[in-house]
A = this chain, B = another copy of it.
């Protein structure tokens, strides 16, 4: 059973990285309730709008988000409905962390 090519690994890790920053994770979770524009997300995260914008671009480039301009705003939304499942996996992985007293 061969491991993935380096390219697949890079791609996967880009997706994972896109969700591995606290602000970005918060954004993704919030978008589970539906699309939001940048200024909404700026409120949520509490950083400068340019910072939020950059987080959003990164997530979009990784394929995690889509965006659509309507009127004055740009609305971001999850590109895939599987984030909930993803987070359940993360939480399961997270609680493996109790018994690691060794070495």
Contacts and interface: CB of A to CB of B under 8 A. Distances in A.
Interface string A41-60: 00000000000000000001
A26 B12 CA distance: 10
Interface in A1-42: 1, 3-4, 6, 9-13, 15-17, 19-22, 25-26, 29-30, 33
A29 B15 contact: no
B100 A65 contact: yes
Given A19-B20, A65-B100, A67-B102, 14 more contacts: A1-B33, A9-B26, A12-B91, A17-B20, A60-B100, A63-B100, A67-B100, A67-B103, A69-B102, A74-B103, A78-B96, A86-B86, A86-B90, A86-B93
